[in-house]
Chains A and B, each alone.
Chain A
Amino acid sequence: MADKDTDLQKIKKLIKIMKENELVEIEIKHGDNKISLKRSQPQPAVGGAVAAVPVIGHEPRVVPAHSPAEDSAATSAQASPDQQEEGLVEIKSPIVGTFYATASPDSELYVELGSHIDTQTVVCIIEAMKVMNEIKAETSGTITEVLVSNGQAVEYGQVLFRVRPD
């Protein structure tokens, strides 16, 4: 944990340096350790700071640039600005894989906004390790949000749909 805390402090300092100097990219190497930070071009219209996305290690990740108003650590890039309706149930991905919204490329969507589902309704396919996994809703209600798009890579536990329960 001590190392992570140290890294976090370093990242915060680097973000500050980037902001003060209007830097878009910065990379620091020390032995096997590498810290690489990127941020989108400063946008005057937004007015606030632009969050940087830290990449630690040897395999940089590409993360879409967000423009939240507050400066903070990397996690702020994941925060959703949307206000969520209360009492919604989330359908999460049980595995890491690729999300498919239809049974075949020519089929209709399994579900869409407003679709009524029950516990046995197949809501999508997630392809993992070359195997297609039909994902059942395991809840009943009405789809109010679709948070992923066809062909998108999804993580374990990632929210795919939000459902207003019956």
Chain B
Amino acid sequence: MPCPKTDLLDPDKIRANLNTKRIGKRVLVFNSTSSTNDVAAEYATNKQNDGLTIFAEEQTAGRGRASNKWLTGRCDSILCSVLLTDCPLNPDLLCLTAAVAVAEAIGQSAKIKWPNDIIVSGKKIAGILLESKACDHGTAYIIGVGINCHQQKESFPTELQEIATSIDIENHSTCDRIRLGKRLLTCLDHWLEVAQKDSSEIIEQWRQLSIQLGHRLTLLYNATTFTGNCIGIDPEKGLILQLDSGAVRFFPAAHSTIAK
């Protein structure tokens, strides 16, 4: 079914004047696929595919963390996966770096809800799903990004209408997904380079963009509930909470879920 939108994703337009060193050297656009992360994983075995970016107009089995489904209409979103076949960053730092980049691409009002949500006006506007694949050449990482663009409030299921938003809703105008896609690749390229040189800059960015820092929160870690004040983040060990008991504890992203 053709997309009614005018900003159909076009690999040549996305790559035109794209000033990146690594990300988006090659861009593929899929009309429809199960999940862009799955497509990127097919390319992971060849180390030469570092920086390859897969976009899709539609995902039939898009997913978030913990097997949550990522719901989106056709041509309504940026759905993309960036393949890193040569990445020295650990997964926690990589996840933070991706969050910083996606938030910057979306704009000044975007905030990070650790570990993988991007929030505008208190509602989720984008999500990040980091996956890895063991290959002969080492571990390849796939940064999956979903950004709500053209959805209107009624586009979301009723249960999500108060907790999800889109760029068009927030800006009261229609965004250009090609421009946003270019900006996303540019931001990822920049912050991945920064992270490899100095992780403290990523931490500083996260501190500025976090909606959780300094706030009380509850999370599930290995099926146990912990409550405390968020006092920071560690690039290797995850979120730092000062628990009600007074103890300070780290919570790695892979095994933690924010309860509230």
Show the binding face of A for B, using Cβ within 8 Å.
103-107, 130-134
Q: Chain A contact residues: over half helix, strand or loop, or mixed?
A: loop
Which residues does chain B contribute within 8 Å of A134, judged by CB atoms?
30-33
Closest to A134 in B: B33
* CB pair B46 A106 closer than 8 Å: yes
Interface size range on B against A: 10 to 19
- Shortest A124–chain B CB gap in Å is 13
CB nearest to B28 among chain A residues: A132
Q: Which residues of A contact B9 (CB under 8 A)?
A: 131
- A130:B42 contact, CB within 8 angstroms: no
B33 touches A130 (CB 8 A): no
B10 with A104: CB separation less than 8 A? no
**Smallest beta-carbon distance A13→chain B, Å:** 46
With a CB–CB cut-off of 8 A, which chain B residues contact A107? 42
Q: Which of B22-58 contact A (CB under 8 A)?
A: 28-33, 39, 42-43, 45-46, 49, 57
A133 touches B46 (CB 8 A): no
Residue B11 at the chain A interface, CB threshold 8 Å: yes
List A contacts of B28 (CB < 8 A). Answer: 132
Q: Are A132 and B29 in contact (CB under 8 A)?
A: yes
Q: Which residue on B lies nearest to A102, using beta carbons?
A: B42
Q: Can you list 28 pairs linking A and B with CB atoms under 8 Å apart? A: A103-B39, A104-B42, A104-B43, A104-B46, A104-B49, A105-B46, A106-B42, A106-B43, A106-B45, A106-B46, A107-B42, A130-B10, A130-B11, A130-B12, A130-B29, A131-B9, A131-B10, A131-B30, A131-B31, A131-B57, A132-B28, A132-B29, A132-B30, A132-B33, A133-B32, A134-B31, A134-B32, A134-B33
